[in-house]
Structure 1
Amino acid sequence: MTRRRTAAALAAVLLTVSGCTSVGPGRGHGGGTPGPRPDDSTSTSTMRGITLPSWNRTDYDSPAADGYLRDIRATGARWVTFTPTWYQNRPTDPAMHTTEETASDGSLRRIVDRAHALGLKVMIKPHVDLPGDADRAEIGPRDRTAWFAAYRRFITHYADLAADTRTEQFAVGTELAGVSGDLAAWTKVISAVRDHYDGPLTYAANYDEYERIPFWKELDLIGIDAYWPLSTKPTDDTERLRRAWEPIGKRLAAYAQRQNRRILFTEAGYVSQRGATTAPYAWTISNRTGDAEQAAAYRALLDSFEGKRWWAGVCWWMWDDWPDSGETPARLAYSPHGKPAEKVLRDRWAT
């Protein structure tokens, strides 16, 4: 999910990726075999997760952070995802860099520790974004060799941090459709990550990208940001939404079988706006609240996929915005907090 942001905020560059060094010693992968697989007898556990993104260097050190983690835990969630984000000024740039909107390494380490102290497991899912409303799928560097070299430095930086903090799962990329078709380059990226981090790996492909990814067999899980439109008009009819998932689910089950990998919804979410199910990927659909539609969408997704052996779970996008940082009013935002969608999670997960 791409966050709307201002160009001015992105102008403050703190560090270029070419100057970034690892934060800890490498961790050898030891040549282990990726797993688990759809047909494994141990493949029945699913992620019950919620994403807590950051939009500022100090968000994860916010006084609100502990409350957010406790509230996430209270829904019955057992996982939380953190999203440190670097930026490119232009899609064609050869490297990415930090800004004041990049969570500091120290704050990321501390919030991982606090999540673990509450009994939550952690996935770190680093993002690379563009200014304003630009879609990261538009990233298409002129010099791909330079970009992938920079990307390897960026992603192994966080792989080291994940290893040092005993993070349970790691994503090697998110929605980079403009470069995700390069098998050789991504094989090198994944190999480099495995030299630094021993845990399970995924890649978060957008819902219209995942079938074009050539490197799933280098990873442990297929990751999909599951923003499929489910309706052509606003609806809070759970059964109608469940029926809309049926052909998608059949296609995903067959794909998981062909790839011999389970599928994790690395993101899924709906704004609490009327019409959310028509464009789940959109931050702004209307100025009318749609709490019932959001809750119905949560219920339909869980009805459709919970219990499927090929399905590895979901990490909902997203929990609350940080104080004073929300660009979308809380009553209209993706957060389920304090809305009927939170009750759906509590009813399903807090048992």
Structure 2
Amino acid sequence: MDYIKGFTYGWLSQRGDFRTEAARESLRLLQERTGSEYVIFALAALQDTPHTTRVDYKGEHMVDDEELLDMLHYAQSLGLRTILKPTINCRNGTWRAHINFFDRDVPCEPKWHEWFASYTDYQCHYAHIAEQAGCSMIIVGCEMVQTERRSTEWRQLIQNVRQHYSGQISYNTDKYQEANVDWWDAVDVISSSGYYPHDDWEQQLARIERIVKPYSKPFFFAEAGCPSRTGSAAIPNDWNLQGAANVQEQAAYYEAMFEHAGKCDWIEGFGLWDWSAQLYAEHGAGEDDGYGVFGKPAEHVIRNFYTSVQR
């Protein structure tokens, strides 16, 4: 597998967002400014709560299939390799890691098999699009911690996706959860979210290596990043952390992450989080406290790292 010099693009984009010139310009700038060679298109279907079983991927909250295909082809015309990542959110704001049902079916209660049937339909729909567009990979889930114990259902889902898509398949577990998945043998590429404290990368990488090495499969961080906010380097997964905008702290976080990860030949890249389809004004970058790096010092750190990687 090629080293993935990647960035996640377009998270929470809605119907029509990819049809704008601003979205295309944003994607062009992503490549130009960061040196990325891969772009991960992350989609956000919705279910009402973590305990409801219908996955809605056809509403106004999603870019439609035509505009998605157009943007995938545009990315490829720029020389970017594309990865499709259909994930899910809950309408009531609960994080998807808490999607959960009884392990034993109970009458009148929502059931795992109902949820997996709907979720598999969702994944297969986008597997077909990934095949049609010639995507390099599909990531069939993200940080769905409570679902991960359902090994049989996940294995069947992956088999179903393979009926529609001939490329590489990955699953993106959450930070600290790499050992929680006992079905890594069913995917082609292992991935996780690398939101680890800036001073804990060495210990966490040693732990992850021990977990993934026995599977003899490529590993990459399908997500990793840090808000540009004071205090975020110590807890980069907390997007609600209160603090002043701090672009230097974000840049220092990326430097620490790349310093440690760059020493590990078993890490096959990053899908950094994240680059919006609708960018903020560059002159205001210093006041932005989100994960975006456009116009911030971290942008240069990322480009320097990506252009220096020879794998």
Relative to structure 1, the CA distance from residue 321 to residue 107 in structure 2 (aligned partners, 3 Å threshold; closer, same or farther) is closer
Matches within 5 A, 1:245-284: 245-284=201-240
2:39 to 64, 67, 80: 80
Structure 1 residue aligned with 2:23: 65
1:95 aligns with 2:63: no
Relative to structure 1, the CA distance from residue 146 to residue 132 in structure 2 (aligned partners, 3 Å threshold; closer, same or farther) is closer
Query: Structure 1 CA distance, aligned partners of 2:118 and 2:287?
Result: 36
Q: Secondary structure at the match of 1:50?
A: strand
Q: What is the number of equivalent residue pairs in this alignment?
A: 293
Q: In the alignment, residue 60 of structure 1 is paired with which amino acid?
A: F
Q: In the alignment, residue 339 of structure 1 is paired with which amino acid?
A: K
Q: In the alignment, residue 331 of structure 1 is paired with which amino acid?
A: D
1:297 aligns with 2:253: yes
Structure 2 residue aligned with 1:131: 91
Q: Secondary structure at the match of 2:21?
A: coil
1:102 CA drift (Å): 1.2
- Greater displacement, 132-141 / 84-93: 132-141
Contact 2:229 2:289 in 1 (8 A): yes
Query: Structure 2 CA distance, aligned partners of 1:88 and 1:161?
Result: 21
Relative to structure 1, the CA distance from residue 285 to residue 220 in structure 2 (aligned partners, 3 Å threshold; closer, same or farther) is same
5+ residue gaps, structure 1 = 1-42, 231-240
1:55 CA drift (Å): 2.8
Structure 2 residue aligned with 1:315: 271
Q: Give the structure-1-normalised TM-score.
A: 0.79
2:288 to 308, 324, 331: 331
1:329 CA drift (Å): 9.8
2:168 to 187, 197, 200: 200
Query: Structure 2 CA distance, aligned partners of 1:113 and 1:269?
Result: 26
Matches within 5 A, 1:159-198: 159-198=127-166
Cα shift readout 1:176-195 (whole Å, capped 9, x = no counterpart): 11211111101100000111
Query: Structure 2 CA distance, aligned partners of 1:251 and 1:164?
Result: 38
2:187 to 219, 227, 243: 219
**Deviation >6 Å, runs of 4+:** none
Relative to structure 1, the CA distance from residue 107 to residue 294 in structure 2 (aligned partners, 3 Å threshold; closer, same or farther) is same
Q: In the alignment, residue 64 of structure 1 is paired with which amino acid?
A: A
1:48 CA drift (Å): 0.6
Query: Structure 1 CA distance, aligned partners of 2:287 and 2:140?
Result: 30
5+ residue gaps, structure 2 = 102-109
Q: In the alignment, residue 207 of structure 1 is paired with which amino acid?
A: K
1:92 CA drift (Å): 1.1
Query: Structure 1 CA distance, aligned partners of 2:217 and 2:201?
Result: 20
Q: Secondary structure at the match of 1:332?
A: coil
Matches within 5 A, 1:4-153: 45-52=2-9, 53-74=11-32, 75-98=34-57, 99-141=59-101, 142-153=110-121
Structure 2 residue aligned with 1:348: 305
Contact 2:178 2:211 in 1 (8 A): no
1:125 CA drift (Å): 0.5
- Greater displacement, 87-96 / 110-119: 87-96
1:160 CA drift (Å): 0.2
Q: Secondary structure at the match of 2:13?
A: coil
